[in-house]
Chain A
Protein backbone atom coordinates (compact mmCIF):
# COMPACT_ATOMS: atom_id res chain seq x y z
CA UNK A 1 0.00 0.00 0.00
CA UNK A 2 0.88 3.65 -0.16
CA UNK A 3 3.48 4.79 2.32
CA UNK A 4 4.39 8.14 3.77
CA UNK A 5 7.87 8.51 5.20
CA UNK A 6 8.78 11.21 7.70
CA UNK A 7 12.27 12.19 8.75
CA UNK A 8 13.78 12.62 11.27
CA UNK A 9 12.00 10.49 13.85
CA UNK A 10 13.32 12.60 16.66
CA UNK A 11 15.44 15.70 16.97
CA UNK A 12 16.87 17.76 19.79
CA UNK A 13 17.84 21.32 19.02
CA UNK A 14 18.96 24.39 20.87
CA UNK A 15 16.60 27.25 21.48
CA UNK A 16 16.77 29.77 18.66
CA UNK A 17 17.79 27.36 15.94
CA UNK A 18 15.65 26.05 13.09
CA UNK A 19 14.64 22.47 12.40
CA UNK A 20 13.41 20.99 9.12
CA UNK A 21 11.12 17.97 9.02
CA UNK A 22 10.55 16.11 5.75
CA UNK A 23 7.50 14.20 4.68
CA UNK A 24 7.65 12.05 1.55
CA UNK A 25 5.03 10.04 -0.24
CA UNK A 26 6.97 7.01 -1.43
CA UNK A 27 4.82 5.44 -4.11
CA UNK A 28 2.14 7.93 -4.95
CA UNK A 29 1.84 11.59 -5.77
CA UNK A 30 0.40 13.69 -3.00
CA UNK A 31 -0.86 17.05 -4.20
CA UNK A 32 -1.96 17.79 -0.67
CA UNK A 33 -0.37 16.90 2.63
CA UNK A 34 -1.43 17.81 6.13
CA UNK A 35 0.71 18.70 9.11
CA UNK A 36 -0.45 17.95 12.64
CA UNK A 37 0.99 18.68 16.06
CA UNK A 38 0.37 16.55 19.11
CA UNK A 39 1.22 17.56 22.65
CA UNK A 40 1.67 14.80 25.25
CA UNK A 41 -1.54 12.99 26.10
CA UNK A 42 -3.51 15.15 23.69
CA UNK A 43 -5.07 14.74 20.30
CA UNK A 44 -3.70 15.56 16.88
CA UNK A 45 -4.34 19.17 15.99
CA UNK A 46 -4.20 20.26 12.36
CA UNK A 47 -1.58 22.94 11.83
CA UNK A 48 -1.69 23.48 8.10
CA UNK A 49 -2.58 22.09 4.71
CA UNK A 50 0.32 21.86 2.31
CA UNK A 51 -0.50 22.18 -1.39
CA UNK A 52 2.00 21.34 -4.10
CA UNK A 53 3.11 24.41 -5.97
CA UNK A 54 1.20 26.91 -3.85
CA UNK A 55 1.20 28.47 -0.43
CA UNK A 56 0.18 26.44 2.56
CA UNK A 57 -3.08 27.12 4.35
CA UNK A 58 -2.61 27.57 8.08
CA UNK A 59 -5.13 26.93 10.81
CA UNK A 60 -6.14 29.75 13.09
CA UNK A 61 -3.55 30.40 15.76
CA UNK A 62 -0.66 28.80 13.88
CA UNK A 63 2.11 31.26 13.06
CA UNK A 64 2.98 30.93 9.37
CA UNK A 65 6.31 32.70 9.85
CA UNK A 66 7.31 30.27 12.55
CA UNK A 67 6.17 27.09 10.87
CA UNK A 68 7.31 27.34 7.28
CA UNK A 69 5.82 24.79 4.93
CA UNK A 70 7.16 24.05 1.48
CA UNK A 71 5.60 21.59 -0.94
CA UNK A 72 7.90 21.91 -3.92
CA UNK A 73 7.18 18.53 -5.48
CA UNK A 74 4.39 16.00 -5.64
CA UNK A 75 6.23 13.70 -3.25
CA UNK A 76 7.82 16.01 -0.72
CA UNK A 77 6.51 18.48 1.84
CA UNK A 78 8.72 20.06 4.47
CA UNK A 79 7.94 21.78 7.75
CA UNK A 80 10.58 24.10 9.15
CA UNK A 81 10.25 25.24 12.73
CA UNK A 82 12.12 28.54 12.77
CA UNK A 83 13.74 30.04 15.87
CA UNK A 84 12.51 27.14 17.93
CA UNK A 85 11.69 27.61 21.58
CA UNK A 86 10.97 25.06 24.33
CA UNK A 87 7.23 25.56 23.91
CA UNK A 88 7.57 24.26 20.33
CA UNK A 89 8.61 20.89 21.72
CA UNK A 90 5.98 18.49 20.48
CA UNK A 91 5.23 15.53 18.24
CA UNK A 92 4.78 16.59 14.62
CA UNK A 93 3.20 14.23 12.12
CA UNK A 94 2.31 14.53 8.46
CA UNK A 95 -0.43 12.87 6.50
CA UNK A 96 -1.48 12.41 2.90
CA UNK A 97 -4.75 11.18 1.49
CA UNK A 98 -4.90 8.28 -0.94
CA UNK A 99 -8.17 8.65 -2.74
CA UNK A 100 -11.06 9.59 -0.51
CA UNK A 101 -11.01 6.80 2.01
CA UNK A 102 -7.43 6.28 3.05
CA UNK A 103 -5.16 8.59 5.01
CA UNK A 104 -1.53 7.64 5.40
CA UNK A 105 0.61 9.04 8.15
CA UNK A 106 4.31 9.49 8.52
CA UNK A 107 6.06 8.00 11.51
CA UNK A 108 6.07 11.35 13.28
CA UNK A 109 8.89 13.54 14.60
CA UNK A 110 9.49 14.18 18.28
CA UNK A 111 11.00 17.63 18.59
CA UNK A 112 12.68 18.66 21.83
CA UNK A 113 13.97 22.20 22.12
CA UNK A 114 16.47 22.76 24.93
Chain B
Protein backbone atom coordinates (compact mmCIF):
# COMPACT_ATOMS: atom_id res chain seq x y z
CA UNK B 1 0.00 0.00 0.00
CA UNK B 2 1.14 3.50 -0.73
CA UNK B 3 2.45 5.26 2.32
CA UNK B 4 2.29 8.68 0.70
CA UNK B 5 -0.28 9.59 -1.93
CA UNK B 6 -0.10 12.66 -4.08
CA UNK B 7 -3.07 12.61 -6.41
CA UNK B 8 -2.16 15.59 -8.58
CA UNK B 9 0.46 14.71 -11.20
CA UNK B 10 0.46 18.30 -12.44
CA UNK B 11 -0.91 21.64 -11.34
CA UNK B 12 -1.05 25.09 -12.92
CA UNK B 13 -1.32 28.31 -10.99
CA UNK B 14 -1.36 31.94 -11.99
CA UNK B 15 1.50 34.06 -10.72
CA UNK B 16 0.69 35.75 -7.37
CA UNK B 17 -2.14 33.30 -6.66
CA UNK B 18 -2.14 30.67 -3.93
CA UNK B 19 -2.04 26.96 -4.67
CA UNK B 20 -2.61 23.83 -2.60
CA UNK B 21 -0.76 20.60 -3.28
CA UNK B 22 -2.44 17.56 -1.83
CA UNK B 23 -0.82 14.83 0.23
CA UNK B 24 -2.35 12.00 2.21
CA UNK B 25 -0.42 9.46 4.21
CA UNK B 26 -0.86 6.07 5.78
CA UNK B 27 0.77 5.01 9.02
CA UNK B 28 -0.05 3.21 12.21
CA UNK B 29 2.74 4.92 14.12
CA UNK B 30 1.93 7.60 16.65
CA UNK B 31 5.24 9.38 16.10
CA UNK B 32 5.96 10.46 12.58
CA UNK B 33 7.10 13.46 10.62
CA UNK B 34 5.84 14.91 7.39
CA UNK B 35 8.07 16.80 4.99
CA UNK B 36 7.70 18.72 1.77
CA UNK B 37 10.53 19.11 -0.71
CA UNK B 38 10.91 21.08 -3.90
CA UNK B 39 12.94 19.58 -6.73
CA UNK B 40 13.82 21.89 -9.61
CA UNK B 41 15.16 20.56 -12.89
CA UNK B 42 18.69 20.54 -11.44
CA UNK B 43 17.64 17.62 -9.25
CA UNK B 44 18.56 19.03 -5.88
CA UNK B 45 16.10 18.42 -3.08
CA UNK B 46 15.16 21.67 -1.36
CA UNK B 47 13.55 21.33 2.05
CA UNK B 48 10.44 23.45 2.43
CA UNK B 49 8.57 22.58 5.59
CA UNK B 50 8.18 19.99 8.35
CA UNK B 51 5.24 18.93 10.51
CA UNK B 52 5.55 16.57 13.44
CA UNK B 53 2.67 14.31 14.35
CA UNK B 54 2.46 15.84 17.81
CA UNK B 55 2.59 19.42 16.62
CA UNK B 56 -0.72 21.05 17.38
CA UNK B 57 -0.24 24.02 15.14
CA UNK B 58 0.17 23.94 11.40
CA UNK B 59 3.74 24.57 10.30
CA UNK B 60 4.56 27.74 8.38
CA UNK B 61 7.75 28.83 6.64
CA UNK B 62 7.50 32.09 4.79
CA UNK B 63 5.15 31.58 1.82
CA UNK B 64 4.76 27.90 2.65
CA UNK B 65 2.26 26.52 5.09
CA UNK B 66 1.21 22.98 5.83
CA UNK B 67 -2.48 22.23 6.33
CA UNK B 68 -2.21 19.31 8.73
CA UNK B 69 -5.41 17.35 9.33
CA UNK B 70 -4.38 14.42 11.47
CA UNK B 71 -7.74 12.67 11.58
CA UNK B 72 -7.90 12.71 7.79
CA UNK B 73 -4.20 11.86 7.52
CA UNK B 74 -3.59 14.70 5.16
CA UNK B 75 -0.73 17.18 4.99
CA UNK B 76 -1.39 19.56 2.16
CA UNK B 77 1.15 22.19 1.17
CA UNK B 78 -0.11 25.69 0.56
CA UNK B 79 2.06 28.08 -1.40
CA UNK B 80 0.91 31.67 -1.21
CA UNK B 81 1.68 34.40 -3.74
CA UNK B 82 3.13 32.01 -6.31
CA UNK B 83 6.23 33.08 -8.18
CA UNK B 84 7.63 31.90 -11.50
CA UNK B 85 10.54 30.38 -9.61
CA UNK B 86 8.14 28.08 -7.79
CA UNK B 87 7.74 25.99 -10.94
CA UNK B 88 9.21 22.62 -10.00
CA UNK B 89 8.40 19.14 -8.80
CA UNK B 90 7.08 18.94 -5.25
CA UNK B 91 7.36 15.85 -3.11
CA UNK B 92 5.57 15.00 0.10
CA UNK B 93 7.46 12.59 2.36
CA UNK B 94 6.99 10.87 5.68
CA UNK B 95 9.33 9.53 8.32
CA UNK B 96 7.93 6.90 10.64
CA UNK B 97 9.27 5.48 13.86
CA UNK B 98 11.99 8.07 14.21
CA UNK B 99 11.93 7.82 17.97
CA UNK B 100 13.38 4.31 17.76
CA UNK B 101 16.28 5.16 15.49
CA UNK B 102 17.30 6.38 12.09
CA UNK B 103 14.58 5.70 9.57
CA UNK B 104 14.40 6.97 6.00
CA UNK B 105 11.98 9.29 4.32
CA UNK B 106 9.37 7.69 2.10
CA UNK B 107 8.25 9.83 -0.80
CA UNK B 108 5.06 10.31 -2.74
CA UNK B 109 5.06 10.35 -6.53
CA UNK B 110 5.21 14.11 -6.66
CA UNK B 111 3.27 16.97 -8.19
CA UNK B 112 4.67 19.10 -10.98
CA UNK B 113 3.73 22.71 -10.40
CA UNK B 114 3.79 25.19 -13.23
CA UNK B 115 3.39 28.88 -12.48
CA UNK B 116 1.98 30.93 -15.32
CA UNK B 117 2.81 34.59 -15.80
A residues at B contact (CB < 8 Å): 31-32, 34, 38, 42-46, 49, 91, 93, 95, 97, 100-105, 107-108, 110
Q: Quote the shortest CB–CB distance from A99 to chain B (angstroms).
A: 9
Q: Which of B43, B91, B105 contacts A108 (CB 8 A)?
A: B43
Interface stretch, picked from B14-22, B45-53, B69-77, B78-86, is B45-53
Complex contacts, A32 vs chain B, CB 8 Å: 102
B44 within 8 A of A: yes
B residues at A contact (CB < 8 Å): 33, 35, 37, 43-45, 47, 50, 52, 91, 93, 95, 98-99, 102, 104-110
Q: Quote the shortest CB–CB distance from B39 to chain A (angstroms).
A: 9
Q: Which of B43, B47, B98 contacts A93 (CB 8 A)?
A: B43
Q: Which of A46, A97, A100 contacts B106 (CB 8 A)?
A: A46
Chain A contact residues: helix, strand, loop or mixed: strand
Q: Quote the shortest CB–CB distance from B7 to chain A (angstroms).
A: 14
B91 touches A44 (CB 8 A): yes
